[in-house]
Amino acid sequence: MNDRLPRLLALVPYLMSHPGASVPEVAKVFGLNEKQLIDDLQLVWMCGLPGHTPGDLIDVSWDGGEILIDNAETIARPLKLGVDEASALLVALRMLGELPEFAGGEVLGRVVAKLEQAAGDGAAAVSTQVTVEVEAAPGALATVTDAARRKRRLSLVYYTPGRDELTPREVDPLRVVLVDGRHYLEGWCYRAEAMRMFRVDRIQEVAVLDVPADPPAEAEPMDVTQGVFRPSETDELVELEVTPSGRWISEYYPVEEVEELGEGRQRVALRARDQGWLVRLALRLGDSGRVVRPESLAERVAETAKLTLANYEGSL
């Protein structure tokens, strides 16, 4: 039901601009069956301006299979993306354009251009300020993606920042995934004799071997819906205070403790080894949360926010 209100707000402008559209046609456009569409139309029929007299309510009928709508001029304009929404979409599309299968694609380029035009200068300027790091080693993403598709073993030289070392590895790739804006190669690592996730931008050298990938039966892909990060007791403990709109933190990420503070607020404790990731998380929260501890992280978030705001104001 969470998506019903946005659908209704999009449905009314569509019907205003397509008078006489048929029930099956509109249902197909909105991905509904005919019963679901009729239920929506019955709800629209009870909506309108304050007063709730017949002259205040939207008039909609679908007798004979054709939908006619009237008295809905106040919401006849289609929904528009906000600057933040348009910026996020532009960044995602540009990231998609970096994938080998989309590189140089004219269709994607046209979509980006149209979205920039529709979103205005603000969103376009903000989105171009964001740098998306896709890969460090030249051709690494294309190479590992091709090997995963053809089921060929890979030889890697991989950088592990926690130990500041380069290690040679042979890996049977299972898949390449995009999580939190970064590409990861997931596969069976013969050095570790276990499944591992390798950040593609940390692959220093890569070559496809003339050997078919043959991972053992216990090699299973990891569930990345909660991200690839799995905290350990040695990682830094961080405390956040979040408002009701920031409670998604405790639902989306693995946390150690959640304390209810009243009025929907929470104090959340979680562990993370990458302070840069924590800064990005705090910035995503915006005014719906703040870093309580450690103080060094709170100061870094504040400085990053000031710098980001200055760059944004300079682009206007």
Which H/E stretch holds residue 62?
none
pLDDT at position 134 is: 41
CB atoms within 10 A of CB 62: 20
The stretches in the chain having pLDDT less than 70 are: 1-3, 45, 48-56, 73-137, 161-164, 180, 224-234, 251-252, 273-274, 311-316
Find the length of the chain: 316
The answer to whether 44 and 90 are in contact (CB under 8 A) is no
Q: Which amino acid is at 180?
A: D
Cα–Cα dist 66/72, whole Å: 17
What pLDDT is recorded for position 199? Answer: 87
Residues with Cβ within 8 Å of residue 173, at least 6 apart in sequence: 144, 147, 148, 151, 152, 153, 154, 185, 186, 187, 213
pLDDT at 123: 47
With H, G, I as helix, E, B as strand and everything else as coil, classify residue 277: helix
Predicted confidence at residue 299, as pLDDT, reads 85
Structure tokens that stand for 258 in this block = 């959640």
Residue 68's nearest CA partner among 27, 35, 31, 21 is 21
Write the pLDDT tens digit of every residue in 273-285. Answer: 667 777 877 887 7
| Distance in Å from the first CA to the final CA of the chain | 38
